[in-house]
Amino acid sequence: MGLSYNEYYNERTGLTVGLKKVLFSEDTPFQKVEVYETDTWGNLMTIDGMVMLSEKDEFVYHEMLTHVGMFAHPNPKKVLIIGGGDGGTAREVMRHPSVERVDMVEIDEAVVRASKEFMPEVGDWDNPKLNVIYENGLEFVKTPKGEYDVVIIDGSDPVGPAVDLFKKEFYQNCYDCLNENGILTAQTESPWVGHYHKSISDLFDVLDEVFEVSQMYLAFIPLYPTGMWSLAYASKGINPHSEEVIKRVEEGTTKWQSSLRYYNKDMHTGSFAIPNFVQDILKSK
């Protein structure tokens, strides 16, 4: 009964969210951006009919996309975010005291505008370390060389404008943007959704080719299709399971304990456990 949002990921299997009203709806030059007021998840943003975030569950995605890589790095100062227009990834990055500057390259200013208006708590927009650049991330990454400590790919799904975010040329450019301790993290879809299997498998093959270290990790995200979401960790050498990293995670999360809602030392390690059927997707060609 009443207004609802429906996202089908597998023929007619999908998610239904009860809505109170439509807050924002705009056909931008790139995509359709919408924000809804929901019954129990706060405000919800979708792009081209796919959930990007809700105010209630965004902490999982943003903490896991950010801290696994940020804590693995010994001293992240300069961070590049591709996408991330809702501001949540930059917010988590800037909580690391070593960070001096965040370049957030978002293709679509409407995403930022809608987020600032309808989910203002998600971003830390007035932080002077944040530098928002409205540009195509695919183009942006062609120029910087060895400039960033961490690159985070916070793009949408591999359909429409984001499809090339899953290709080798883009990841090679990201690699070249990173300095010698460089780390990259990215969102890489749900292993339960059949039509993404090839994207996932190809993407991890690319990361294997381009980076010295690459591994999948997982997070429980209730409003993303199937609730199981995969992410990628890649680096020029830093192993996310080294004693040094684990010590840093332990110290950092102890300090931050009261403000982290998902990420902790056990999740840092445990999220890299991959079920057999997902390992099979990674091995498939």
Tell me: does residue 11 bind a second copy (CB under 8 A).
Answer: yes
154 is catalytic: yes
Q: How far is the CB of 49 from a second copy (least distance, A)?
A: 14
**Shortest Å, Cβ 46 to a second copy:** 14
Catalytic residue, from 154, 157, 208, 280: name it. Answer: 154
Residue 254 binds a second copy, judged by CB under 8 A: no
Return the structure tokens found at 235: 């680096």
* HEC per residue, 112-145: HHHHHHHCCCCCCCCCCCEEEEECCHHHHCCCCC
CB neighbour list of residue 252: distance below 8 Å, 6 or more residues apart: 71, 96
The 35-74 contact track toward a second copy, x by CB under 8 A, reads ---xxxx---------------x-xx--------------
Distance separating alpha carbons of residues 45 and 111, to the nearest angstrom? 9
Question: In terms of C-beta density within 10 A (0-12 exposed, 13-18 middle, 19 or more buried), how is residue 207 classed?
Answer: buried
Is residue 251 part of the contact set for a second copy (CB under 8 A)?
no
User: What b/e string do you get for 34-68 counting C-beta neighbours within 10 Å, with b at 16 or more?
Assistant: bbbbbeebbbbbbbbebbbbbbebbbbbbbbbbbb
What is d(CA 265, CA 93) in angstroms, rounded to the nearest whole number?
17
Check binding of 17 to a second copy (CB under 8 A): yes
Residues 195-224 that bind a second copy (CB under 8 A): 218, 220-222
Q: Give the x/- contact pattern for a second copy in 148-177, rule: CB under 8 A.
A: ------------------------------
Q: Interacting stretch for a second copy, rule CB under 8 A, among 13-21, 72-80, 113-121, 202-210?
A: 13-21
Which residues in this chain contact a second copy in the complex, by CB under 8 A?
A: 1-2, 4, 6, 8, 10-18, 38-41, 57, 59-60, 192, 194, 218, 220-222, 226-228, 257, 260-264, 266-267, 269-277
Active site residues: 154
